Amino acid sequence: MQSGRDTPLRKAGQWPTVVSAACVLLLSQGLMGCGADHRISLEQFLVMQQDAREAAVESPSAAELDEVRALLDRQLGPYKVGPGDELTVTLTGADATPLFPPTIARVNREGRIDLPLVGAIDVNGMELEDIDHTIRDAYVPAVLKDVAAHVSLYATEATEVLVVGAVTAPGLVPLRRTERNLLFAIVGAGGASDLATGEVTLQRLRQPGETLSLDLTNPMELRAALALEPLADGDILTVHAAAPNTIFVGGLVNAPQPQAYPPGVQISILQALAASGGLRTDVYPREGTLIRRMPNGQDVHVKLDLKRIGNGRDPNILLAGGDILWVPETLETRIQDWINRNIFFRAGVSVNYNVTGIEYLNRRSQQSRLGGGNLQDSFDPFGFLVQNAALQGLAP
């Protein structure tokens, strides 16, 4: 051990020499890797995301939107009577007193019902209110001077389909004749749950080898869904749930682990780092890598400047489910870690030890040989060893 009166390491001009010496040591031990950085910049990634969104959004024309509205009106409007339905018909006088007992009339294959005194009346495809007026016109004035008719559905022919997946009440859902579409099936199952993505898959019982998947949040695919042939008994409708909203954070953070959030919750880069206990402070990580799988199956690696994001100079972008946020080792952090584990400095003294710096600090007998004073000032003037309590975990 050699000592001197001057303090060369306290001079700013000497620090590059120390770092250079550490680099030589790292090179000799194979700690410094080399190779091209294949990551794209954050700016390139943002442009790529914008292009992907614009390509994915197909703006429907005004005529196509009108067609969707018309389909919705036809499919989701009031019930229209048809063959197989049974109606309850009540005729009342001016004082609302029933003129006859209520009559139950079945709609035949031709879409007609038979009523006393007037015979067959065509009601196919009509709403109940329109049937009220049609029956009244049939009786007045040919049979009765004045009458009011009231018609209600007594029974309908129901089609049962199986709805499973991200719905509130999965199971068999009965659908009336004019309600045999995907929307009524989902509503009949209690509606989509909070986990639903809007994507559904239809499997016809009579076409077991064929399936059809549609995104009901897309107007054009909703139009295609409403234009499908009516659902039949035994058809299966699967409402897809969102993929687990999990973000994987690792590398130079204090608590590397997957982070699971409820569907729909959006987490930014800084929030994910905070949830992982923050960056390690025994070294100084300055960059990160975002790994995202794109819709085409390609993994994109994005270089992040964590310091610029932290001070607001770069956007603190939102992460997506399945993203990997990695804080990698760099040349700088490897040098810092190597020095932390192997070397510490004392002003005015150059020391050669057969033990690591951490071991030395924890051996009171050796510490006492160099006298008193603050331990950090004596052995760690540059703050490499005791930057935070995380280093205490390295002690034997």
Pairing of strands 324-327, 245-251: parallel
Q: pLDDT digit of tens for each residue in the chain (396 aa)?
A: 444 444 443 444 444 455 555 555 555 454 444 557 889 999 999 888 887 776 665 566 677 667 767 766 666 778 889 888 999 999 988 777 888 889 899 999 999 999 988 899 999 989 999 999 999 999 888 888 888 899 998 888 889 999 999 999 999 999 988 888 898 999 999 999 888 888 999 999 888 888 999 998 888 888 888 888 999 999 999 999 887 889 999 999 999 999 999 877 889 999 999 999 999 988 999 999 999 988 778 899 999 999 999 999 999 999 998 899 999 999 889 988 888 888 755 444 444 544 444 454 555 444 444 444 444 454 445 454 445 444 444 444
Domain 159-241 has CATH 3.40.50.1000: no
pLDDT given for residue 141 in this prediction: 86
Amino acid at position 382, single letter: F
pLDDT given for residue 242 in this prediction: 82
Structurally, at CATH architecture level, domain 42-55+244-329 sits in Roll (3.10)
Domain boundaries, the chain: 2-31+333-394, 42-55+244-329, 86-155, 159-241
Give whole-number Cα distances, 205 to 165, 228, 320, 383, in Å: 17, 15, 36, 71
Residue 264 CB neighbour total at 10 angstroms: 10
Specify the pTM.
Answer: 0.54
Question: Which of 318, 322, 301 has its CA nearest to residue 248?
Answer: 322
Give the DSSP H or E segment for 226.
Answer: helix 219-226
CB 228 within 8 A of CB 181: yes
Q: Which residues contact 215 (CB under 8 A, 6 or more apart)?
A: 197, 198, 199, 221
Structurally, at CATH architecture level, domain 86-155 sits in 2-Layer Sandwich (3.30)
On the question of a common fold for 42-55+244-329 and 159-241, the answer reads: yes
